């Protein structure tokens, strides 16, 4: 079970997350996020973990040039698109990076995600992984809202679509159930392991990683 802890903003927290056994950390470059990190600090974080886990750059409606510049500065090989980026932009980035495409899903289900992935397939550039997050009006994620597990389990075409990363409202006390219900390839958390806004709690991180792996059968 691949686990990612998103919204890391300092070296000490990144090292604690790596020691807890997480597979990846998320570095959020969206200026309007309360978990935003500067490229200069992100570069120090990447250097400090030194392969201990995979650093992922989270972008929301950045241009291709902006993404490339930040990735070069920080030493990133994996990017997460969490805004309104079209399939053509994903295809361009996929030439040089592993791309995680996030979709915000509510009661309407995965039809829009399916249409997007079909467009990617026509371009010959499927994402490295798909993240399914909860839809919340006016937000690009990180709200703590829970994604519709049963809809995702029923509608996600595992055999045809990229590996599924489940996000949205996950916490140490529900991640094992989420994994057992949905059967994702990976899970992603931000607020669910925080003691206060944007401040990760090492004990919660460790418990989350352990419970996520325990829920995987």
Catalytic residue among 71, 133, 173, 199: 133
Answer yes or no: 188 catalytic: no
| Cα–Cα dist 161/26, whole Å | 22
Please say if 133 is a catalytic residue. Answer: yes
Alpha carbon distances (Å) from 207 to 12, 32, 42, 46, 203: 18, 29, 25, 23, 6
Note the maximum CA span of the chain: 44
Set 6, 53, 74, 120: catalytic member? 6
The structure tokens 């392969």 sit at: 51
CA angle, corner 56, sides to 93 and 45, nearest 5? 130
Question: Are 143 and 134 a contacting pair, CB within 8 Å?
Answer: yes
Could you give the residue numbers annotated as active site?
6, 133
């Amino acid at each position: 079970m691949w686990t990612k802890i998103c919204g890391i903003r300092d070296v000490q927290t990144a090292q604690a997350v790596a020691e807890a056994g997480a597979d990846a950390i998320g570095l959020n470059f969206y200026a309007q996020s309360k978990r935003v990190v500067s490229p200069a600090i992100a570069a120090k974080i990447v250097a400090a973990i030194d392969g201990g886990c995979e650093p992922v750059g989270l972008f929301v409606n950045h241009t291709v040039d902006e993404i490339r510049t930040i990735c070069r500065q920080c030493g990133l090989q994996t990017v997460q698109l969490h805004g309104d980026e079209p399939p053509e932009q994903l295809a361009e980035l996929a030439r040089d990076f592993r791309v995680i495409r996030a979709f915000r899903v509510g009661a309407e289900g995965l039809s829009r995600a399916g249409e997007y992935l079909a467009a990617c397939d026509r371009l010959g550039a499927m994402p490295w992984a798909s993240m399914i997050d909860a839809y919340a009006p006016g937000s690009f994620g990180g709200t703590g809202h829970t994604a519709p597990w049963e809809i995702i389990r029923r509608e996600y075409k595992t055999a045809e679509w990229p590996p599924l990363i489940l996000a949205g409202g996950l916490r140490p006390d529900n991640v094992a159930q989420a994994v057992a219900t949905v059967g994702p390839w990976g899970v992603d958390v931000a607020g669910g392991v925080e003691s206060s806004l944007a401040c990760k709690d090492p004990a919660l991180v460790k418990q989350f990683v352990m419970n996520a792996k325990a829920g995987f059968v």
